[in-house]
A and B are shown apart, each in its own frame.
Chain A
Amino acid sequence: MSKILKNQIFIPIAALLLLAVFNLIMDPSFFKITLGYNSAGDPVLSGYLMTILDYGSELAILAIGMTLVTAASGGQDISVGAAIAISGSVVLRVLCGRDHHAETMQAPIIVAFLISCVVAMIFGAFNGTLVAFFKIQPMVATLILFTAGRSIAAWINNNELPIVNEVRFSYFGGFIPGIPIPTPFFIAAACVIVIFLVLKFTNLGLYTQTVGINENASRLNGLNPEFIKFLAFVILGLCVAVAALIKVSRLSTINYSVIAKDIEMDAILAVALGGNALSGGKFNMTASILGAYVIQFLTTTLYKFNVPADALPAYKAVVVILLVVFSAPVVRDFISAQWKRLTKKGVTENA
């Protein structure tokens, strides 16, 4: 039992089960999934679970990058929301060209996406350079982009709000005709598979943890800690570009001031929920990704129970405090010690 408690992935799974049981008791129809048709006549699966898989995807993708950044640099990137605005703005700028309401796309989607990837990685590299080479606290370094990012995003499109009218663009945030499962889930799954292959077949995971645990020791062992940190931020940039594509595709347009607002906090929370130390070092990627879906599960649950609008953040805060306190090593050690004492007592009494 104490082994299970000690396992990092226990926290997000416990949270997920708790939320699932709560919903099961309150209203079992929460788990109902129905097959219907959307207005274009294509089959779609709908239900709360599909909603969670759908909307949790961007967060899961961001959690991948955020976990690496956290592990390597011992700090968090708070500019991901602003970076999504920039990256999304680039996608629309390339697709729409000069005409903001172009009837047809001016460039293939793949070109727009690749350009946005490059831009997002450059901004990631900017953050990475400040953190790795200039040794600035990650939160301070990314504060620059956090502040300026949305203005940059607006500037890219001359402050216009471009709209893509082609239906193909909406597939990324919606459904591909004939496939009833939301596309964002497939995109997230692809990202997860890629990162697991990378972690399995390269030393990225090992090196990242080494740098996070002890930078000097890693240097003495022949690693280049600056480069590893830099790389983590660039990878996060790539995650941002993927998440941004989904976000702008959902509505085929962008609103610079509110797109992906406060998503950085949810992404950091996903990492924390995964039981990863926010001060860097060892990490568990699966736990972070699960953490992201737990947050979406919570959000969807709160929407379902019609929590009064102005009270919603308060409810979320209470749940978050509980989860984070429970995942703190001190509390978990205490619980497992208590558990041990209880079981020991039971054994002696039996004897």
Chain B
Amino acid sequence: MKKKVLAVVMAAAMVLGLTACGGAAPAADGGGDGGLIKIGIINNDPNESGYRTANDKDLKATFTEANGFQASFAYSLKNDEQITAAQKFIQDGVDYLLLSAADTAGWDSVLKDAQAAGIHVILFDRTIDADPSLYSASIVSDMDKEGETAVNWLKGQNLSEYNIIHIQGVMGSAAQKGRSGAVDAAAASDGWNIVTQQTAEWNAEKAQQIVQSVIDAGTPFNVIYAENDDMAKGAVAALDKANISHGVGKDVIVMGFDCNKWALQELLDQNWNYDGQCNPFQSQYILDVIKTLESGQEPAQKTIIMDEKGFDATTITADDVNNYGI
């Protein structure tokens, strides 16, 4: 009896799962799309982070029917589910496949299918380990450059000594590698002292505990280099608790990444010192690529690196907060 009930529930769950997939990748309508360009967009879960939410909103705002597009969206943080969604889009006969892959590996065969079906593949936000001939363009952030921009800014502060708490993102992610690499290089070349270097896995509360631990140990530090805004916020919460001043002209320099609106507001209020952008607004770049391809040409460059800024609390304006905040 127990097994039977379980079997029924599992079956029901599977059916639900199927409809859920159907919802994520709406079936193509039977022709008659009125000259709309059909695109399938495979993205990571918009709940993942503020970055992803902004990214998803931007894509949705650009690829509308009013702009001449019929867009279908599929979201997953898992590579295999994304590949299944890609196969579905290929069957549906989309004209363009836009892809932000969860994982770099495993995409060769499905992209070959797409090529055989004459579908243009455009990668955004993340690259994959596949032959470049399999995709038309790749629009990415240069994480190494983001790190370098931030580190160069920090060098420019000309502190008498650098004692840095380095809070890392999820180890192995592209953002972590790029943003950590620059600090490690500068620590080696300029003799910066890394007080602690630990991963808080993008988690504010873990960052708070890491900084708390350094404060409890009584080790002096004057820079917090957090690889995203959430972790910087956690670190600042620990500083506030210990009455350590932070921000422009204060004891500790606070650096974050991603340019959340609230983080830029902290910059404007002079509580933080620096925030590096990780540009989520790729849709205009994608639009340019599609226009080029539609006119029968190939994009001039295969890999397009987006402009990304670094904001300094002493120069940021209220307009910047509104324009670049996500």
Residues of A within 8 A of B (CB): 29, 36-40, 44, 46-48, 51, 55, 101, 130, 134-137, 140, 144, 150-151, 153-154, 159, 161, 163, 174-175, 247, 250-251, 253, 255-259, 261, 299-300, 303-304, 306-310, 312
Contacts and interface: CB of A to CB of B under 8 A. Distances in A.
B243 A258 contact: no
10 contacts: A38-B242, A101-B262, A130-B9, A154-B47, A250-B205, A251-B208, A258-B201, A261-B201, A299-B209, A309-B199
A51 B205 contact: no
Given A159-B47, A257-B49, A258-B203, A306 B9 contact: no
Interface stretch (B114-122, B132-140, B151-159, B210-218): B210-218
A154 B72 CA distance: 21
Contact of A304 (B45, B46, B201, B217): B217
A267 B240 CA distance: 29
Contact of A136 (B1, B9, B203): B9
A159 B209 contact: no
B20 to A, nearest CB: 10
Interface core residue of A46, A130, A253 (most chain B CB under 10 Å): A46
Contacts, number: 115
Contacts of A257: 45, 47-49
B119 to A, nearest CB: 29
A46 B215 CA distance: 9
By secondary structure, the B interface counts as helix
Given A261-B201, A309-B197, A159 B46 contact: yes
A40 to B, nearest CB: 8
A312 to B, nearest CB: 7
Nearest to B218: A29
Interface string B33-61: 00000000000011111100100000000
B318 interface: no
A10 B197 CA distance: 36
Given A136-B6, A258-B203, A312 B209 contact: no
B66 interface: no
A46 B241 CA distance: 9
B325 to A, nearest CB: 11
B202 interface: yes
